[in-house]
Amino acid sequence: MSAVAGRLQGKVAIITGGSSGLGRVGAELFAREGAQIVIADVVDGDEVVDAIDAAGGEATFVRCDVSDEGSVEAAVQHAVETFGGLHILYNNAGVMLSEDDGPTNTSVDVYQKTMDINVKGTLLGCRYAIPAMLASGGGSIVNVASFVAHMGAATPQVAYTASKGAVLAMTREIAVIYARQGIRVNSLCPGPIMTPMLAKFLGDDAKRNRRLVHIPMGRFGDPIEIANGALFLASDESSWMTGQSLIIDGGITAAYVTPE
């Protein structure tokens, strides 16, 4: 890592779901920019911590189920006890279950699990991070929603879409509540990014091609393109931005028809 002060120098950041996929890319980028990183995940994160440490950064792992209140509270306590405060919460953890479909055939169990992780997990992260941020002089919360919070998905996924709409609305509400207390809260809304989660959900080439036809730029996004958006929202570069939705989607939400 560079000795030059980064855009997150002196900041402590919790990244939920940081052991793999978009979370890992974000964790490594935030570390390169000077943040001390807490990887909070149900999946072991020692490999990410080792990679960050080897590159000259600072990181720690805490096992955390974002749908469990005690687990989230403990993760925030771990961050404060390890690094002395908290300035950034990147609420990245989420699920897109393969059984998620239309409203008539998506089971209540699939719906509830999606809501527990994507919505309740975001709420719990904010619930316990905010007091720690206030004690640290303020901070930035980045909640991962989705472009489907703004428009319906081409492939039926009613639980996921509903959950991300809830995240978007919750973000606005929390942002207004804490706007004068030094805490900013914004949503990051990615389009389809080729991560293991999306690859598993899409399954075959037919499903992938059906998605691609709706993307004006003609390709899936790269994880670093989303991590760069998260970095902007987490950093002081977005210091007069709160309650907003940053859409990074290859032009999907801008298009009425897709170019041939």
Q: Residues near 186 by Cβ (< 8 Å), separated by ≥ 6? A: 140, 141, 142, 143, 171, 175, 233, 238, 241, 242, 243, 244, 245, 246
Cα-to-chain-centroid distance, residue 208 = 23
128, 160, 178, 256: which one is catalytic? 160
Q: Among residues 177, 178, 85, which one has the least CA distance to residue 132?
A: 85
Active site residue 256: no
Cα–Cα nearest to 61, from 102, 87, 31: 31
The CA distance from 39 to 136, in Å, is: 19
Active site residues: 160
